Structure 1
Amino acid sequence: MNRNTNGNGLPLHSAGGGGRRQDFGSMLSHARRMSPGRLFILIGLCVISLLALTRFSTNSSHAIASVEHSEHEAKNEAERELLVKQLVETRKSAYSFDDFTEEGLVLEENAHLLPATAILLGWKRLEGLKLVVKYLARYPYIKEIIVWNNNKDNKLTKDDFEFDPSFGPLPELQVYNGKENLHDFAKYMSCSLAKYQHCYFQDDDWLNTHMDALYTNFLTSPSLIHTNTLPLIHMEHRRWTFTNEDIKLHAGFAWMGCGSFIPREKAQRLLEQGGNSNLAKDRLRVIDMYFSIWTNQYPYQLVNYLTPLDQKNGWSTDGVNDHWAIVFRNMLDAAGRLYSALTANAEVSEKDYFPRDEELPSIKDRHTRSPCYNDKCLFKTSMDPYPEPKEVTFNNDLQTIDEQNAKFYALDYPSNEFINKFTYIHAVDNDPLTCWNSFKNPQAGDSFGLHLVKATPVKKFMVTSSKSLTHLEGMFTVMVSDRKGEVWTTCRHSTRFPYPHTMSLDITCPSLQNLPKGTVENIKIQFDKNIETSLEVCSMDLGGMVL
């Protein structure tokens, strides 16, 4: 894959947010909610950072992302700006602002809803920052926005931002102006002090046009990291996992800046981990590369094509010559330190800041793959082209990341070309000329389907492929469930083939608990028998919603 940069930016350089002007000292005054131990570690790390950090930043997802997206979508700057303008003007959340009021959140039917604090970092791309802040304010679950401005030469205030109150109540906004550039460290410090128990990370050089889809999947397992990424970046992340079942090591790497939900307590723990591990000053500068690995969990990732904003003033143009060497060196350092900590301490103790238990669902049970283009649903399938992380054991013996890559490539690993052509998102990208392919032949029990952001009546389900689908007749069952997807119910269905490559289903489903008759939130086609060829899906139509 082409690793040339193009002035791509860093989460450190994202910025923005409204509220009164505050400096570093005033921000620490908000730390009263933290325990004394956590506060001591936080202050210590902040002082170290303020004394030591220099203009340095790293987030390599932007380097690859810009190149890949340019081939898929944006042909020039004018087209990019037009696309962004259209998306900003048309995107609207399916969630209700009323449900996220103090009165609404205590209702039993809203018990699963979780308000979040958005964390934005700023440096030089102020226009992108302002757009992201304005955009996030229209999503009711973003109840607070904290902006840390890393640019000491350009102070920000609430007056620097504009909002559209027509969507609903505005989130609580605060802006902090740092005396020094704290880089990504400020991201986790800000999250640790957030009002709400979950944070949303967003860089200022990307627009997450699938906020509802990401949030909906986050609600299914809110203890995990949930991120957005590009197909080829996801492909790399599936190799950049570090697993050793003997010591309960099950970690994975992920970039946070393209839209991520995380638990606040994981950010607080990172500050403790950094202090307990005696990270050197240069490691603190790139703490983003440690975060997901040090949670000792595999991040939950959605695959889609991202929408870029202004990509200038990025870390690749900030005096950094070999950014990928920095990425890989710190990634391996994070994995090595985690391995050593788990090996040294067989059991969790008060002085051990690395969790042992793997959080559910496990990788093999995570079937949500991509947001639908319209942000009203998510594509789900049990069919995963990648080997499970446990098939490669990490023994802290790697000199380069290429050695890790080689171990996965020795398995039945898909090629770059295959992922480019048949990635998950192509099943729901509103383009019938692109298709998802299962890579492996479906087996009995395998499935594919949709998770709907909001409950929807379903009577018809149409699947279109580039290949004939007639051989599937009598080979599957249609099943539905409510939001949790824990209990699936079988529907009656009749199958028609208006064309060989088009399968149309008339569906009659029983009533589901707490949902109006005929309404579902999850629907899937589950195979009863093994299929002799791989499955290809180019588009779906669910009761008139064309995907």
Structure 2
Amino acid sequence: MLTVFRFSILVAVLSFISILLDPRIHEPAGDLNTTVVILNWSRPFNVNKIVSEICKNLFDDVVHSVIIWNNNPKPMSFENNFANASCPKSRVQIINSPDNLYFQARYMACAQATTPFCFIQDDDYLILPEIVRAFVRRIGDNSASTSSIHLQPPHEMLSSELRTVVINETLHTTFAWLGYGTIVKRSRVVEFISLLDHLNLLDEQHKMADNYFTILSNEIPERWFDAGIELGGGQAFTVGTEGEERNNRHIIEAAKILESIISAGDVASTSLPYVKVQPNSPLLPTISRAPCHGRLCVFETSIKLIPDEVYDISVSSISDMLVLEKERLKALGEQNATEYLNFAPSNAVDGIRDTVFRSAENGKHGEYVILDLTECHFYDRLQWVLEVGAHMGAILDRSVYESSEDGVNWHAWGKRADCSNALDDGLRTSRVMSCVISAEKIRVRYFRMRLLEDVEYKWEFHEVYLSPIQE
């Protein structure tokens, strides 16, 4: 078996040779600042579908190239697996691994990339092109301090939130998978690989790198809600009790390593790559985000999804992260947990009126929702459409509607929402109201609805979107 160290050297040498000999490396990248990294184990048909979508939709403006790391002993080739994918062969790289390197393969692949960002995903989810674009714009935004953004379905988001540990000003961390779709700065991946080598971890720990990535960073990464499009098929890596126990074992080990690093003191800590010795994370989650489906935008809200008292439960050691999750889940209660899973923010921008984003508590003064277009646009005339629950009239009437080019300076429209019952397949329903706020001659990136006082009703959004009016 090829050891991790020897294989790392091999990959580095091959990468260096490819840079010297491969003419595509020297092509002007322009805005093509992202490399997509896909792991294949048992779903080659899914990988073909994913790569086809990327080549068709993202090769002109976002994605420079695709790296497919094949952990399966059956070799893959462009001719046999991707000839029908409408991709230029020069921009698709296939690495047939001599061993199954599990999760660490995605980091080794990203380290070989020549772009500043890597978009990482597994072979069982399809990520919409507009979501990848939103990721790239967000992580490239100078105002965003995050070094990775993780897409998570609601059940994974809840787990990640409840595992969040903040101990004083020195330890701020949680766990989040990368396979649902993650954008990450390539420089951080290189630092992470360097850290694992520096720590002299075992081969198994290297292979289970996903279980260490977010925890060892000692910062709480940005995470976006999205249910994703499951492709299924094949054989999953984590199956049953044995798989869960393996994952939990490595999560706890990662927590112990981080605790050991931080407790060793400033001198020892600052000599290591990747670990943030002065984390800058909020004590409680303050913002929730979800990417739009079918259009390029991000839904953002300050509405609380988990009561503050749940976060009052804490631990003195991050190695108790999994115990903390169980205790907080118990405090949250079954009903609140079910509502969290069923009424996530992503439901407001998934293009499906039947799904709902609903707050856990009644509306409070200062809470807001924002639609971020990711860049400025000029509109002659447009409508901001809010499809909401019928009881939302009280919240709409007590809110101010604002727009901004930079997210700092806001302009109040001085208008109220014009509402009517929504039409659903030709049938009028009183369950959903369609509310419109209109504007003319406006240059804007952000739209915000902000509540001016406490209200005895919950927020409830079925869909939120912009509708430009053609002259």
Match of residue 448, structure 1, among 358, 369, 373: 369
Contact 1:24 1:178 in 2 (8 A): no
Give runs of aligned pairs for residues 464-503 of structure 1, distance below 5 A. 464-472=387-395, 474-482=397-405, 484-499=406-421, 502=433
Could you say what secondary structure the match of 1:493 adopts? coil
Relative to structure 1, the CA distance from residue 244 to residue 406 in structure 2 (aligned partners, 3 Å threshold; closer, same or farther) is same
The residue correspondences of 1:92-111 to structure 2 (distance < 5 A) are: 102=28, 104-105=30-31
Secondary structure of 2:361 counterpart: coil
Is 1:504 aligned to residue 426 of structure 2? no
Q: Establish whether residue 126 from structure 1 lines up as the match of residue 44 from structure 2.
A: yes
Q: Note the 1:211-360 alignment, pairs <5 A.
A: 211-220=132-141, 221=144, 223-246=146-169, 248-316=170-238, 322-347=242-267, 348-351=269-272, 353-359=274-280
Which structure's relative contact order is higher, taking Cα pairs within 8 Å and 6+ residues apart?
1
Matches within 5 A, 1:187-198: 187-198=106-117
Map 1:142-153 → 2, pairs under 5 A: 142-153=63-74
Question: Unpaired segments of 5 or more residues in structure 2?
Answer: 1-6, 18-26, 422-429
Question: % of aligned pairs identical?
Answer: 20
Return the letter of the residue paired with 1:280.
L
**Structure 2 Cα separation of the partners of residues 308 and 386 of structure 1:** 26
Between stretches 379-388 and 154-163, larger displacement belongs to 154-163
Between the aligned partners of 1:345 and 1:412, the Cα distance in structure 2 is 39
In 2, distance between residues paired with 1:171 and 1:374? 29
Cα distance, 1:387 vs. partner?
A: 5.2
TM-score between the two structures when normalised by the length of structure 1: 0.71
Residues 225 and 262 in structure 1, CA contact (< 8 A), matched pair in contact too: yes
Q: 1:4 maps to what in 2?
A: none
Partner of 2:23: none
Letter of the structure 1 residue corresponding to residue 384 of structure 2: F
Q: Residue by residue, what CA displacement relative to the aligned partner does 1:112-149 show, whole Å, maximum 9, x if unpaired?
A: xx711111222332111122222222313111222222
Q: Take 1:186 and 1:233, find their aligned partners in 2: how far apart are those partners?
A: 22
Give the counterpart letter for 2:108 in structure 1.
Answer: M
CA contact (8 A) 1:230 1:305 kept: yes
- Following superposition, the deviation at residue 375 of structure 1 comes to 3.7
Seen in structure 2, the aligned counterparts of structure 1 residues 480 and 400 have a Cα distance that, compared at 3 Å, is closer
Give the residue type in structure 2 aligned to 1:536.
E
Distance 1:411 1:181, change over 3 A: closer
Q: 1:530: how far off?
A: 1.8
Q: Aligned to 2:254, what secondary structure does the other structure show? A: helix
Is the CA contact 1:466–1:537 (under 8 Å) kept in the aligned structure 2? yes
| Structure 2: distance between partners of 1:413 and 1:486 | 39
Does 283-292 or 492-501 show the bigger shift? 492-501
Give the match for residue 172 of structure 1. 91
1:534 to 449, 455, 458: 458
Q: Distance in 1 between matches of 2:315 and 2:279?
A: 16
- 1:29 alignment partner in structure 2: 13
Tell me which protein shows more strand as a share of its residues.
Answer: 2
**How big is each residue's C-alpha offset from its partner over 1:255-303, in whole Å with a ceiling of 9 and x where there is no partner?**
1112110111221122122122222232222111111111112121221
Q: How many residues align?
A: 434
Q: Secondary structure at the match of 1:522?
A: strand
1:465 deviates by 2.4
TM-superposed CA distance for 1:310, in Å, is 3.7
Q: Which amino acid aligns with 1:432?
A: R
1:204 paired with 2:123, answer yes
| Residue 372 of structure 1: aligned partner | 292
| CA distance, structure 2, for counterparts of residue 352 and residue 414 of structure 1 | 42
